[in-house]
Amino acid sequence: MKTPIFDTLKNLIEKEISFHTPGHKGRNTLIEWSKYIPYIDTTEIEGTDNLLEPRGIIKKSQDLTAKVFGAKMSLYGVNGSTGNIYAAMATIAQPGDKVLVQRNSHKAIYNSMILNRLEPIYIYPNYNEEHKLFTGLNPYDIEIALKENPDIKAVIITYPDYYGICSDIEKIVNIVHKYNKILMVDEAHGSHIGFSKRLPISALKAGADIVIHSTHKTLPSFTQTSILHVGTDKIDLNRLKSNFALYTTTSPSYLLMVSNEIAVAYMDGQGRKILDQSIDKVEDTIKRLQSIDRVSVFTGDNKDKTIYNKDKTKILFKIDGITGSRLEDILRADYNINLEMSDYYYGLALTTLMNTNEDYETFLNAIEDIAKTKAYKKIEHIDINILKPVIRKDISSTYYGNKAQVSLKESIGRISGSYIIPYPPGIPLIVPGEEITKELYDHITFIMENSIEINGLMGYNKDQIVVAE
């Protein structure tokens, strides 16, 4: 047979400029991987230990990693942060429990609520009308929710968010612990922030109870690598280990474990200095972008108190008169530059310490050229605030119940049987059990008309949706 995947991926070698994940940016760095692959792609034999019951070299490596991050225990995830999220949520709550969940969480959080049959109560980020962005959480909204729902078992938030916006994590920790609840933090996009004082405080340092890192996103580690950290004594370690084994493959990749280990070892040494130099490059790039006519970069908003800090390694920018999705397409097609994501207004360049000076110069030249040569087209301003759902059934029973497939227009007033998720950033507009309103229908239609990919729609023309019967 032919090999279309391999044939396509070969073309990425030394051709693509990456401002997206994975954090290693496609560069053969840290060690000479070609000397070791496939030789170290092994299994559980004498001396190699067992990830699901580590007693030897894996335990030693995870203990060293925990020390680096300031955790009480760290576990190497090889199923991505998705697997670690499943294990963490199964540990901090039991079936039927209520959990307070940030509404703009990743799909993995919602999947975990289905798997673990949890009842969500949602807390919403602020919507910044001026900048057309979801920003941070108001910590006191969390306190109100905990007062009104004393049976909530845990609070689950994302920090930083996809755009690098950080809520006041220390205040949130204090409030959650004041009510004797557990705080879980999806810090998938922040595994690097603890390695520089010029970046926001890490969730572990702030006192979070359990934290998940996608090391592959912002550290020089292979895709699917993740680390689950325990931050406090509130977590039942035996229960966590059992759930970790439940949601982890019985054939864990030693290549991914090694990649996790080497990335952390690098960050604990030379990587701290390289990250600091990378931050210098980012700051210079932002300054130069802001000097280009039509170009603006979102670096924060002093009036928005929910933006407590900003991870500056994520460059959120736009060009006046060009939608974010169109800008992403132009960069890819004409300049071979791939962004992490775009939305209606913005493009997001995800930088890591593996980006080179040449990457930044090529990116700057491309943006300047686009701003000078691409025609201005008036952008219709829209309200992209999160639509608060009408919850008619619980998420788990709806997901596992009987379903039917109908046209999107016919679905108005029906109960969704699946997710509708724009990608990126992977945050559901609607989840199983929620009503498909006319307002939601209009919003989905608008997104489709502006070439933003949506997962969850069915049929050849992506004009059908699964509903509960």
CATH value at residue 457? 3.90.100.10
How confident is the model at residue 426, as a pLDDT? 65
β-bridge partners, 415: 435
380, 321 contact by CB (below 8 A): no
454, 447 contact by CB (below 8 A): yes
Q: What are phi and psi of 202, to 5 degrees?
A: -80, 155
Residues 331, 364, single domain; the answer is yes
How confident is the model at residue 198, as a pLDDT? 98
Enter the pTM of the model.
0.95
113, 86 contact by CB (below 8 A): no
Residue 155's H or E segment, with its range, is strand 152-158
CA 202 to chain centre: 15
Residues 64, 202, single domain; the answer is yes
How confident is the model at residue 430, as a pLDDT? 92
Which structural domain, as residue segments, surrounds residue 461?
A: 395-468
Picking from 386, 385, 311, 390, the residue whose alpha carbon sits closest to that of residue 351 is: 311
How confident is the model at residue 87, as a pLDDT? 98
How confident is the model at residue 155, as a pLDDT? 98
Domains: count for the chain: 3
Q: Indicate the residue among 268, 297, 329 that finishes a domain.
A: 268
351, 278 contact by CB (below 8 A): yes
Picking from 421, 445, 340, 458, the residue whose alpha carbon sits closest to that of residue 105 is: 421
- 384 within a domain of the structure (yes/no): no
How confident is the model at residue 424, as a pLDDT? 60
Q: Indicate the residue among 268, 298, 330 that finishes a domain.
A: 268
pLDDT averages per 10-residue partition of the chain, 469 residues = 90 85 90 91 96 98 98 97 98 98 94 96 94 95 98 98 97 98 98 98 98 98 97 98 97 97 97 98 98 98 96 98 95 96 93 97 98 93 78 94 94 94 76 94 84 81 90
- 338 within a domain of the structure (yes/no): yes
CATH value at residue 89? 3.40.640.10
How confident is the model at residue 109, as a pLDDT? 96
Residues 368, 402, single domain; the answer is no
β-bridge partners, 127: 134
How confident is the model at residue 150, as a pLDDT? 98
How confident is the model at residue 446, as a pLDDT? 81
What is the pairing mode between strands 119-123 and 403-407?
unpaired
